[in-house]
Amino acid sequence: MSPPPLYPVLSGGPQPMHFRGLTLSRLDRFETNEYSSIRDVLFEGRVDSDEFVSLEWWPSPGKTKTPFKEAIRKPYKPVKKGFVFGPSWTHHWFRVSITLPPEFLASTAERIQFEWDPSSEAMIFDLEGKPLQGITGGWGIDRRVEFILPEEARKTGVWKFYIETSAKYVAPPLLAPVRCLATESPREVNDPPDNNRYFKVESADIVIPRMEAWRLLWDFRTIKDLAKQLPENSPLGVKCMEVGNEIMNVFRAEDLDSITKCRKLAEKVFGEGWEAKGEKIYEGKPEDAFTWGVGNCHIDTAWLWPYSATQQKTARSWSTQLDLMKRYPEYTFVASQAQQFAWLERDYPLLFQEIQAKVSEGQFKPIGGAWVECDTNMPSGEALCRQFLYGQRFYKEKFGHYTRTFWLPDSFGYSSQLPQLCRLAGLDFFFTQKLSWSQFNSPVHTSFKWVGQDGTQVVTHMTPVNTYTAQASVEDIRNSLNNHKSLQSGAHNALLAFGNGDGGGGPLAPMLENLRRCRAISNKSGELPKVTMGSSVEDFYEDILKKTDAGKTLPTWNGELYLELHRGTATSHGSIKKGNRKSEILLREIEYAGTLASIASASKDGYVFPKDKIDPLWQSVLLNQFHDVLPGSAIGLVYVDAEKIYAEVAAKGAALLEEALQAIVPGSVPATDANATGDELIAVNTTPFPRRELAKIPMAAARALSSAAVQTSHDGQAYVLLENPEGNAIVLATSWESLDAQKIPAARARAVGETFILSNSQLEVKINKKGRITSIVDLELGRELIDDGKTAGFVIFQDRPLNWDAWDVDVFHLETKSDVDASSVVVAEDGPLRATITATYRIGKSTVKALISLDAVAPVAKADALSLIRFDTEVKWHERHQFLKWEIPLAIASEVATFENQFGFCQRPTHRNTTWDRAKFEVVGHKFADLSEFGYGVALLNDCKYGYACEGNVLRLSLLRAATVPDAEQDQGHHAFSFAVLPHRGSFAESDVPIAGWLFNSPPHIRRVPRQVISSAMNTQHPFKLSGTRNIILDTVKRGEDDHFGAKSKKGQTVVLRLYEAFGGHGKVDLLTGLDVESATIVDILERDVEELPLVERKSATGEAVTSVSLHFRGFQVVTVKLSLAAGGAASGSANGKKWVAV
Enzyme catalytic residues: 410
Judged on CB neighbours under 10 Å (0-12, 13-18, 19+), 148 is middle
Strands 973-985 and 869-877: antiparallel
Q: Are 84 and 200 spatial neighbours (Cβ–Cβ below 8 Å)?
A: yes
What's the one-letter identity of residue 1109?
A: V
Q: What is the dihedral of CA 40, 41, 45, 50, to 10 degrees?
A: -20
- Whole-number Cα distances in Å, 594 to 686, 996, 998, 1127: 11, 24, 20, 18
CA atoms within 13 A on the CB side of 784: 12
Pairing mode, strands 429-432 and 531-532: unpaired
Q: Could you count the other beta carbons within 10 Å of the beta carbon of residue 372?
A: 26
CA–CA dist 90, 170 (Å, integer): 14
CA–CA dist 1073, 1075 (Å, integer): 5
Q: Would you say 336 and 373 are in contact if contact means Cβ atoms under 8 Å apart? A: yes
CA distance 72 to 93: 8
Closest CA to 841 of 778, 898, 770: 770
Per DSSP, the three-state class of 83 is: coil
**Residue 448: CB partners within 8 Å, gap ≥ 6?**
459, 460, 486, 489, 554, 555, 556, 557
What whole-number distance in Å separates Cα of residue 708 and Cα of residue 729? 19
Distance CA 231, CA 930 (A): 53
Write b or e for each residue in 723-755: b if 16 or more Cβ atoms lie within 10 A of its Cβ, otherwise e: bbeebbbbbbbbbeeebeeeebeebbbeeeeee
- Please give the Cα distance from 1143 to 1136 (Å, whole number): 19
Identify the H or E element spanning 265. Answer: helix 257-270
Given phi > 0 = left and psi -120 to 50 = alpha, else beta, which region is 22?
Answer: alpha
Q: Which residues pair with 54 in a beta bridge?
A: 97
DSSP conformation letters of 670-695: ETTSTT---SEEEEE--SSS-EEEEE
Single out the residue of 1131, 1127, 1072 nearest to residue 1097, CA to CA.
1072
Cα–chain-centroid distance for residue 731?
39
Say if residues 313 and 500 touch (Cβ distance below 8 Å). no
Q: Are strands 199-200 and 457-462 parallel, antiparallel or unpaired?
A: unpaired
Omega into 75 within 30° of 0, i.e. cis?
no
- Looking from the CA of 331 toward its CB, the CA atoms found within 13 Å total 29
